[in-house]
Structure 1
Amino acid sequence: MTKSPQVVTVLGATRNFFKVGHYTLRRLAADAPQLMLRLAIPEARIAGRAVSDIDVQLRDWEPAQPASLVEALAGTDTLLMVPPIDRRVDIGGMYLRAAQKADVKEIVCLGVQFTPGQCTMADEAAALEALLEKSGIAFDVVQLPMFLENILYQCQSIAEAGSFTFPVDVDRPFSYISCDDAAELFCRKILSPDSVNLSGALMSHHVQATCAQWASALSEVCGRPITFASQTDEHFVASLAKYGMRREAAVQVLGLWERISSDGDAPATGSAEQLLGRPTTDLETWTKAHTCCFGPAFTSCPHPHPPTQHMFGPA
């Protein structure tokens, strides 16, 4: 009797599907064609346009109907769980109850770089980790810093106004990782769960960077001055609202930046590099590789972007 293929499901709460889930599915499709891949996300057929060129099952589910999530996860062996910032514990708890009913064997869950008491987002992440511990499902919670891809929300500003902004001082160091590097770590775990441990250390590039360094890198690849301006708290919260984030969740993201500003980011580590067996992608190299994201043709460049721009293409 032929053994059924291992099913790997990427689970998310919104169709804002252009970062780690997107890169993980693409890496698995290329490196492990024996797997059955699935995207379980509300309005999956819309988000699925971003991976229409690879073999991925699309499973819709309705957040107000937990039973629909159980159905979407049925048959899943390994779950890449991308909990939302907004109502992380409530929605993450729903994910876990569905995973239990669907008999999921392993979960790789995205976490944050801080520990309880350092910011609200860290408190929420820790509360969700406690639920994971009680679930009876094997899991890794992956401590992750800022994704370099977060700047892709500002392509238009960089292309048209030559500027970008975050709520942090220009010379304040932050830790980071690229989504592709994070995805490769997840793939290593998915393909060899017993020999890879992604819990317990920050998965970041081995050195930190500043927005001053990023402005310099952007200026070099764009061939014109790109400037950075520290963003006010209210402007930052309002900018996230444009992408549909509730104010309460936006304030949590702001709290993470406030922690970086006041006490510093979690220190960079070499753990990701050690696990990958190669150097992780540095900010300058990533920026150069994404030059097309920051010019006037950014809406038609090949890299995945936030869905309000172009990544889903025509219906």
Structure 2
Amino acid sequence: MIVVTTPTSSIGGEVLQGLLDREAQVRVIARDPSRLPSHVQGRVDVVRGSHSDPDVVSQAFADADAVFWLVPPDYRTHSVEASYVDFTRPACDALTSQRVERVVGVSVLGRGSALADNAGLVTASLAMRDLIAKTGVGFRALALPSFMNNLLGQVEAIRSQGAFFDVLSADRKFPTVATRDIAAVAVELLLDDSWTGQDDVAVLGPEDLSCNDMARVMSEVLERPIRYQRIPGEAFKAGLLGNGMSEAMAQGLLDMRQAKDNGLDNVEARTSRSTTPTSFRQWCEEVLKPAVLA
């Protein structure tokens, strides 16, 4: 039995589908089971509730061989660390009491780097990673850069203004990854019962690109001029606050972006093992372009 958390999220949903395609036995934790895709309902065991709830995770982890762990963002949190670490504490207790053998968790790049010490969501995610590791469970932490799919949040600006915005330096090259490739790595690890111990698994797209590079690729794929516009950190944060985000989360996101601009995501050397197949151009052709043209 494999337990999938956040089964209606982008990554969690793709992990769930990948496991079902391989005919795995799956249990999901869902706050609202009605949000599960119709083709999934009836094919998985469902435990209703939040995976921050001790009773929910204890029930869900019973007789489970492996767990896919992802903490959903809490945009109204008063503490970024609490939104990761405190959220995960009940799961750590349940991993031990229910004797779960293996966990595959979504984490971030930067462990061991001084750049991660004050990097907002990165710092909190790595603290969560270490909390899970202390249980002694077999653990693979997926060490991830920024997601290509994050650009989908700027589809309207790309469509109407021919631009996308961030606080990153225009020429800073960094890795990104498509969520479908993250899910593919997670599925393989969840189905493989031969590994033990604990390790970080870097998951990197096939190239490092700057925001200006991305703008060039988007322009070519969309067949219209797309530019990158760098914005000041305070303006970035003000926009998040204006959209209802808490002070703590807005500052945490800004701290993370600034750490990435200082090279946080460049600390991990790309290897054949860590390189995923989807290029940014391919992602633009297959995901971004349909979204912009919709």
TM-score where L is the length of structure 1 = 0.78
CA distance in 2, matches of 1:41, 1:237: 31
Report which of the two has the higher share of strand.
2
1:207-244 Cα distance to aligned partner (Å, 9 max, x none): 31111111112112222112211133244335545776
**Given residue 8 of structure 1, which amino acid in structure 2 is its aligned partner?**
I
Structure 2 matches for 1:50-199, cutoff 5 A? 52=40, 55-62=43-50, 65-84=53-72, 86=80, 87-115=83-111, 117-118=114-115, 119-195=119-195, 199=199
Q: Is the 8 A contact 1:176 1:204 kept in 2?
A: yes
- 1:112 Cα shift? 0.9
Which position in structure 1 is the counterpart of 2:77?
A: none
5+ residue gaps, structure 2, are 74-79
What residue identity is the alignment partner of 1:159?
Answer: R
Identical-pair percentage: 20
More divergent stretch after superposition (155-164 vs 52-61): 52-61
Taking structure 2 as the reference length, the TM-score comes to 0.83
Q: Residue by residue, what CA displacement relative to the aligned partner does 1:131-179 show, whole Å, maximum 9, x if unpaired?
A: 2232132111121111111111111222222221122122111211111
User: Match for residue 24 of structure 1?
Assistant: 15
Change (3 A) 1:218 1:53: farther
Select 2:27's aligned residue among 20, 27, 38: 38
CA–CA distance in structure 2, aligned partners of residues 134 and 216 of structure 1? 44
Aligned residue in 2 for 1:303: none
- Shift in CA distance, 115/264, structure 1 to aligned 2, threshold 3 Å: closer
> What stretches of structure 1 of length at least 5 have no aligned partner?
1-6, 298-315
Q: Give the Cα–Cα distance (whole angstroms) in 2 for the partners of residues 238 and 50 of structure 1.
A: 39
Question: Which of 255, 277, 283 is equivalent to 1:286?
Answer: 283
RMSD: 2.9
- Higher mean Cα deviation, 198-207 or 126-135? 198-207
Aligned residues: 281
CA displacement at 1:200 relative to structure 2: 3.6
Q: Secondary structure at the match of 1:108?
A: strand
